[in-house]
Amino acid sequence: MKEITFEDFSKLEGGFLLTKAKELAHWLIKKGRSKSLWPLTFATSCCGIEMMSFGASKTDPDRAGILFIADSPRYADAIFVSGTITKKMANRLLVLYNQMPNPKYVIAVGACTISGGLYHHSYSVLLGIDKILPVDVYIHGCPPRPEQFLEAGLKLQELIKNDKIERYKGYI
């Protein structure tokens, strides 16, 4: 079964009214995607404990629409990769990423996922996840504070609303 998207709709060409209607639909869907971002609950090690504190009541991400309700990858929009990714875990992470439906965004949390971090001379750690996944926002810190998570979430919302993510330009 093919993907059921609005791709065929976006290939139509026409006059003034149809172009304006396409622009209105595009603006509405971009606004909707940016105001409600549902990340997958995935945590491996120490940055996962700070992600739990991020989801709790002091920095409340539900104010901005970020709700941790997605337990299965089919429901999720984004993935906060937090914790060290070893070579054994890397292909499970890729399987999870492939099960998420389009459009999907990736945020790399902590020093271990940017470049290997503290374990840069270890034999079993993947040195940075941008070797296997396309990353949109990086968060620095070891571990970062919960307020930095919220800032990264808001920055991703801004990028989505202004259509600055390369692989989803013009995607309805």
The residues binding another protein (CB under 8 A) are 1, 3-6, 28-29, 31-33, 35-36, 41-46, 48-50, 52-53, 56-58, 60, 62-65, 71-72, 74-75, 77, 83-84, 86, 88-89, 92, 96, 99, 101-103, 118-119, 121-125, 142-143, 145, 172
Nearer to another protein, 96 or 137 (CB): 96
Nearer to another protein, 23 or 71 (CB): 71
- Cα(10)–Cα(29) distance, integer angstroms: 13
Going by the DSSP 8-state scheme, the letter that residue 98 receives in this structure is: H
Nearer to another protein, 12 or 28 (CB): 28
- How many residues would you count in the chain? 172
Neighbour-count burial of 58, counting CB atoms closer than 10 A to its CB (0-12 exposed, 13-18 middle, 19+ buried): exposed
